Amino acid sequence: MIRFILADLKRLWAASLIIVLLVALAAALGVGITLQERALRLGSARAADKFDLVIGAAGSETQLVLSSVFLQPAPLPLLAGDVLAKLKQDPRVAFAAPIGFGDSFKTYPVVGSTPDLINALNNGAAPEGGTPAGEHDAVIGSAVDLTIGQSFEPMHGAAGDAGHVHTEFSYQVVGRLMPTGTAWDRAIIVPIEAVWEIHGLHAEEEPPGVPAILVKPKTIADAYRLRGEYRGDQTVAVFPGEVLTRLYATLGDARQVMSIIALAAQALVAGAIALITIAHVAQRRRQIGALRAFGAPRSAVFGIVWIELLTLMGTGIALGFLVGWVAVRLISDQLTRQNGVVLPVEFQGGDLGLALLLLVAAAVIAAVPALLAYRQPAVAALRS
């Protein structure tokens, strides 16, 4: 029986291929949406991991998170200069590090900050090469294409903007951070004082404002208290993880729409396959009649058609999972190259349920033409 089925599939290879590809396409669509959404969610949750509490000037909370966690370039309003100093004095704060945007080098954002931030990003370890000491010392993220010891002049404006080059000021790379799988892998971190100086602000007179401050509270209770205090008319305080969750609720709706589209596509494919296979059984009436005439039982005829179709659709489902995974992998790698956030593309236990569900659906769909074949009268073989 197995040999007959294989020979039969080989004989009908074109139709078989179409069925496999259609099923693979439908499965890949569903799997792709699930995996991509999961990759985005996990990847950005990991990216926000080290950012307990971010404080900025009153404005969009979402933009504050996108700018500080994902280094998305956008003009942020500045915090009053005394906020950073006040936070640094606060006994509930383990450290408070400014995040100053505005310059770039090639496609890498140049971010002004303090050693506390470098420590946090590098899990407390010293950067490879050395710790920055002077105003011209820069530390680079793992994905920055510079070598330790190299010098560069920052450009005013975000990466890709047509800004002018600050020829009057140059940095030297003194250290490199470990890979974090976040946007910060593409960042060049320089002393915040240097950023102020380049832009003509002088810390001695009056502390200049910064767009965002990363705060590490000592306890969870402190985190909530600090957030409460800094949520006001002048400042916003956010837990990035929470903002992301909110963002995903919105994205979740988009995902739902996509899922419905995928489901509709899958239903169309199921319908197309039902039609193809029913037509196919009609074409095979003589072959099926002959099998019966020579002594094959009806159950064998049902089994042959059912197993053939289930084999094809099962192959299609497996292929679809593979194609879906590869596609999401490629998309995610491209996204990682663009903004540094590593998106984990992985299957979870629940996906097995999806595979089983698809297989059950395939088994039911395959049963329709199999039943038709089962009911095919045996005389068909002798009529010409």
Contact 66, 56 (CB under 8 A): no
Residue number, 152 or 374, with CB nearest to another protein: 374
Among 134, 160, 353, 377, indicate the residue that binds another protein (CB under 8 A): 377
Residues in the chain: 384
Residue 298 found at the interface with another protein (CB under 8 A):
yes
**Closest of 91, 332, 97 to residue 191, by C-alpha:** 97
Residue number, 140 or 288, with CB nearest to another protein: 288
Among 7, 74, 85, 261, indicate the residue that binds another protein (CB under 8 A): 7
Enumerate the β-bridge partners of residue 104: 109, 155
Whole-angstrom distance, CA of residue 256 vs CA of residue 127: 43
Residue 34 found at the interface with another protein (CB under 8 A):
no
Site string for another protein, 183-212 (x = CB under 8 A): ------------------------------
Residue 148 found at the interface with another protein (CB under 8 A):
no
Cβ-proximal residues to 116 (8 Å cutoff; 6+ apart), any chain = 95, 96, 97, 216
CA distances from 41 to 44, 330, 376 (A): 6, 17, 52
The stretch among 22-30, 135-143, 149-157, 375-383 that binds another protein (CB under 8 A) is 375-383
Kindly provide the b/e burial profile for residues 204-235, where b requires at least 16 CB atoms within 10 angstroms of the residue's own CB.
eeebbbbbbbbbbbeeeebbeebbeebeeeeb
Residue number, 2 or 162, with CB nearest to another protein: 2
Among 265, 293, 361, 367, indicate the residue that binds another protein (CB under 8 A): 293
Residue 23 found at the interface with another protein (CB under 8 A):
no
**What's the min distance (Å) between Cβ of 298 and another protein?**
7
Site string for another protein, 260-289 (x = CB under 8 A): --------------------------xx--
> What DSSP designation does 73 have?
-
Contact 120, 97 (CB under 8 A): yes
Residues that bind another protein (CB under 8 A): 1, 3-4, 6-8, 10-11, 286-287, 290-298, 300, 304, 377-379, 381-384
